[in-house]
Chain A
Amino acid sequence: MNEKATHISRRRFLKILAGTSAVAALGPVRHAAAQPKQYGKLVDTIRCIGCKRCMSACKRWNRLKVERDEMITDRFTELSGNNFVVVNLRTDSQNTETQIYHHWTCQHCDKPACVGACPVRAITKLPGGHVVINEKKCIGCRYCYQSCPWKVPQFDFKKRVTRKCTLCNDKFPTNYVKPACVAACPVEALIFDYKDVVLREAVRRIERRKMPSYIMGVKEAGGTGVITILPTRPQYLGFVVAPEKVVNQDLDKLRITGAGLMGASAIAGGAYTYAALTQDKNKKNDASNE
């Protein structure tokens, strides 16, 4: 061994020792408490080329059946128990020259109506923002479908449960970087990151393009995890328009239930009043029978 290479002076050694002691005396560095940040997914319909690779990747990852003809580019497909993601060609009704391919799936709402509707808590919103269905708990009532403003959760007739996109939540904890559809997109029409990053990216893309655009997902149904860039308002593209507020909110449910209970009380009161007013009729009937 080369003695010169390993030799350090006494002064240098004492400096290192003092420095190490000082750092040790400070104690461990406290990290800021980790706040669960919600994920978001950007769908840029203007950049999408309609190749349907996202659909293929989703089917491969989730082991879904491929229906005949649904991978043909311009064939209209519906969400189903076998289709968690669909890509369809949509035309602007106000300007028929504008056509886009739209990647449609669960919007992973910030305050999902389906979570409040499920009677057995089979649907939950995870801290990361994913809205997932536990298929082992699902009773197959389809109430989530009725509650969803976009009718996303679909019933699988063979498994007899409701199914939908989970943002590939089952990739956690070992292999999660992005959902299968996002990883498969060849033109970066799909982005997956924290929601604030996704929103910033959406705004950046719109500003760079300098063409009329609409960002869907900021206010619809109280805000969604999926942010979609559209060339125009969703109703002109044939979408169901969700209200720009939280759907099925709890205070509203209380109001309606209260009205129902008042109605029930009115029925009971009406029956009592009818009985009290017509009691004497019994005696008249008895007299006429005699």
Chain B
Amino acid sequence: MNKTNDLPTYHRVHSMAFYVWIHLLIAFIGMGVYALVMSLVYNMEIFEFSLKIPWATMVSNYVFLVGSSVGLCMVSSLGLVFNLERYHSIVKRCLFMALIAIIFGMVSIMLHLGHPERPAIFTMLTPNPRSAMWGMGIVYPPYILFLALCFWLLIRQELIETASASSGLKARIYRLMALEGLRPYLQRKANLDHLESRIYRMLPLEGWGLSLDAEDADIKWARIFGAMAFITGLLAYTVESTLFAHTEARAFWYGALTPVDFYLGACMCGFAWILVAKIATHKVRSGNIPIHSKRLMFEMGNILALLLSVEILFIAYKMGHGLFDPVKGKTIMLLLKGPYSPAFWGIEIFIGLVLPIVMLLYSVKKERTTGLMIASVMVLIGYFVKRYDFVTAAQVYPAIKHGLPSYLPTLMETLLIAGIIAGVFLTYTLGEMFLPLNEER
């Protein structure tokens, strides 16, 4: 793994666009906090537009963010676990984005729960292994831990270098992030002649600090944790998809095709997110993308186009297969011809799949990175709407008669979701400014 030559520095960006971006994100986060405070002052009813559809935008946002995280983890695994050298330059960025996405996804679902403080206690005290939701609560924490450890190990050396090149509070913060102060303490513990010293001697202490040995140890352990993150990520997403797939009472969710649908979507999201982030960041920083990065972008563009094509075929199969079921068929008709059809045909299919395929293939042929970025943004918008339709449409039918419930989110719910997504973007922007995410040859 090549070290970066660019140490992370605080960029004194004077462009108006940057300040507008930051202030816009802070404004959205503020609106999200306002919505949250209102739900605590009044009650949670301000988030629910219908008793009949208790799972709406917050759940679909959670599924979208978690899917993005697992997809990004899969993309990073190509470089980290499967050791494809041309993917090394995006590993750290993918891992950081995966970490942000999973954390904000968890924030989204915690805000949806009535008592978010209780799962941590009762999941352990009175577990129910028959429940897919219990499985999620067990598998996601290790996934987050492995992701965080893997990312930390990959940036640790640069954090120490930045600390050395800085002074005052900034140096202390970077040294704290690198846990550099812990090393002498652990070495003292390991040198003692106690029983617990054996545990400390097992730690890779020779790999602390700045040295080639340290870098090798970091990379070795990053690969191990990366592989474990890859495995637990896939496992966690399997369990999450089965949460919907087990629900026989919701025919649209039920069945073995749902996990496959989730994986395809996660892969698409992973590639789309890294394309957007990498190209946008390069354009904001310097405007020039190195030639090897460009080749990688075009390769990922081709893979994304292939995944989108497979997704179109899969949707056609799933819809066609589902039309034969009397209950599932009626839900599918809501998407094909009913109130969900503009979102389905217009955004999910056309903007989310068909148009991006054309744009991706055209951009790769003409070697235009802007086209890749725009197509990836469309894929993400299409996938977000797809998840919303997936979660809500299944609940619209069947419903007790006397009117179908409404299916548009409330204003407060929209503000909260906007706040969470703004949080994702703001955290990424700050990470781009202060953390060593770049890794170019």
Contacts and interface: CB of A to CB of B under 8 A. Distances in A.
B238 interface: yes
A137 B118 contact: yes
Contacts of A261: 235, 238
Contacts of B267: 267
Interface in B230-269: 230-231, 234-235, 237-239, 241-243, 245-250, 255-256, 258-260, 263, 267
B235 A259 contact: no
Contacts of B83: 275
A219 interface: no
Contacts of A141: 112-114, 133
Nearest to A78: B51
Question: Sorted from nearest, which 5 A-B pairs have the closest CB atoms?
Answer: A140-B114, A160-B114, A260-B259, A275-B82, A259-B256
A68 interface: no
Given A240-B398, A267-B234, A281-B86, A117 B77 contact: no
Given A121-B127, A253-B242, A260-B256, A271 B116 contact: no
B133 A119 contact: yes
Give the interface size class of chain B.
Answer: 35 or more
A151 B242 contact: no
From DSSP, what is the main secondary structure of chain A's interface residues?
Answer: mixed
Interface stretch (A180-188, A210-218, A244-252): A244-252
A279 B250 CA distance: 44
A272 to B, nearest CB: 6
Interface residues of A, number: 61
A256 B259 contact: yes
A54 interface: no
**Among A148, A155, A159, A256: residue with most chain B CB under 10 A:** A256
Interface of A: 76, 78, 80, 113, 116-122, 137-143, 145-149, 151, 154-155, 157-162, 238-240, 243, 247-248, 250, 252-253, 255-257, 259-261, 263-264, 267-268, 271-272, 274-275, 278-279, 281-282, 285, 289
Given A137-B126, A263-B238, A282-B85, A120 B248 contact: no
Given A139-B119, A243-B248, A120 B134 contact: yes
A141 to B, nearest CB: 6
Given A120-B122, A264-B237, A145 B54 contact: yes
A250 B48 CA distance: 31
28 contacts: A78-B400, A116-B130, A119-B136, A120-B126, A120-B134, A121-B126, A141-B114, A149-B248, A157-B45, A157-B48, A160-B43, A161-B115, A240-B399, A248-B248, A253-B130, A253-B132, A255-B256, A256-B242, A256-B246, A257-B242, A260-B256, A261-B235, A268-B234, A274-B78, A274-B82, A279-B84, A285-B86, A285-B295
